[in-house]
Structure 1
């Protein structure tokens, strides 16, 4: 069975589970692997002028997708190959790692919300065609929940509020310091990185609930 077909089946099952679990005030938890968001300028350097990235698959957040292309990250101590690129392009290049990835590369990546890049780590990004020095680009993404305004009302939270979340896995774990991000373009889900996912015994289809 082709990968795209499998992904479509998974998405349909997840949608059905979301509808079922919303009654119980739970929400899906997703593990986010290391990835890169590139600026148009850096796309040109790494892949060629006026290059158009090829979409591989859509992601859970509307308008977001994974590209076919991959890059290599180069730090003072190590290299990580085959890193995914997410689209669409952004104004400024952003690299999102786990703490383990940051140690492998030898960069001091701060825990930040997406887009908060001032004073963040610098890293080199390479392809067969070119290499860039991505200054103040690299963070460990702060764990967060995406939701729209209706979900925020249902959960009785507001944008930027900090909450605790209990992950309902076979190895339950309560995550503190989770930021709520409210926007009507968002789809309900919590994002954690692979370090956090492994600690919680994460498997695809796991849900979480705000812990009070």
Structure 2
């Protein structure tokens, strides 16, 4: 190979690497989103969530408050509530959590809880049995519009995401959620993260279909 060809090849490889999109990971443990009505039952009328810490997504936070999530076959105590309040109460679990609770939980985009799992939430003032609401979140990436535009992506696209190095793997069909309200972050549950020895803050490579 001539020197000029070799130099051009090296430049193309370097450009491809520098132009690659890497996304930071946020590993999500089981958690709960609640409505005003259900929080009134669980913690008392008019109760307000107390912020423990801000999350990476603007306006979202981990609350000090926790609930027990139970079924006739098992339970998890001290499952954290995430704020702010939502229009529908939703419990996000891993598939392994579903086995422990003995309930079938579908893999769904957040908010799509039709025909999902049933669990009971227990708080200090009362309990709420959800006929639906327990899901395993579809793996997804929060992305601001300027990043999506730069890489030719749009809301609702599916991409593959590669974890390089030790226990390398590729997550297929990761959903893009694009909004000016989002910070760049990929969300995985504990099952998915443990499969690839992934920790919050790790960078994974996005591969367009």
Residue 68 of structure 2 aligns with which residue?
72
Q: Where do 5+ consecutive residues of structure 1 fail to align?
A: 1-20
Residue 144 of structure 2 aligns with which residue?
148
What is the deviation of 1:204?
A: 3.2
Q: Calculate the TM-score normalised by the size of structure 2.
A: 0.88
| Alignment partner of 1:45 out of 41, 47, 54 | 41
Per-residue Cα deviation, 1:14-61 (whole angstroms, up to 9, x for no partner): xxxxxxx99642110111110000000010000000001100000000
Equivalences for residues 108-147 of structure 1 within 5 A? 108-147=104-143
Equivalences for residues 60-209 of structure 1 within 5 A? 60-168=56-164, 170-209=166-205
What is the deviation of 1:168?
A: 3.5
User: Following superposition, which runs of at least 4 residues in structure 1 exceed 6 angstroms of deviation?
Assistant: none
Quick one: distance in 1 between partners of 2:125 and 2:201? Answer: 38
- Residue 26 of structure 1 aligns to a residue whose secondary structure is strand
Quick one: distance in 1 between partners of 2:102 and 2:140? Answer: 25
**Contact persistence 1:76–1:107 (CA under 8 A):** no
Q: Where do 5+ consecutive residues of structure 2 fail to align?
A: 1-16
Residue 24 of structure 2 aligns with which residue?
28
Aligned length: 192
Quick one: distance in 2 between partners of 1:151 and 1:22? Answer: 15
Q: Calculate the TM-score normalised by the size of structure 1.
A: 0.86
- Residue 173 of structure 2 aligns to a residue whose secondary structure is strand
